[in-house]
Amino acid sequence: MDYAIKKLEEERLLIISALKEGHKEQLQNLQQLDKALGWLSLLQKSQIDKADRYNLISLPFIENCGGFSCYRIMIDNETEDTSFWEEYSKPDGSNYLLNYGDFIIESK
Query: How does pLDDT run across 27-45, given as a tens digit for each residue?
Result: 999 999 999 999 999 999 9
Query: Does the pLDDT of residue 65 top 80, yes or no?
Result: no
Say how far apart CA 64 and CA 49 lie, in whole Å: 38
Domain coverage including residue 26: 1-48
68 and 30 within one domain: no
60 and 84 within one domain: yes
78 and 33 within one domain: no
CA distance readout (Å), 90 to 11, 43, 94, 97: 38, 20, 5, 10
pTM of the model: 0.70
Q: Give pLDDT, residue 43.
A: 92
Q: Which sign, positive or negative, has the C-alpha torsion 41, 47, 49, 53?
A: negative
41 and 5 within one domain: yes
Q: What are the backbone angles phi and psi of residue 36, rounded to the nearest 5°?
A: -65, -40
Residue 75 banded pLDDT, cuts 50, 70, 90: very high
Q: Give pLDDT, residue 49.
A: 84
pLDDT digits (tens, 9 = 90+) for 6-23: 999 999 999 999 999 999
68 and 44 within one domain: no
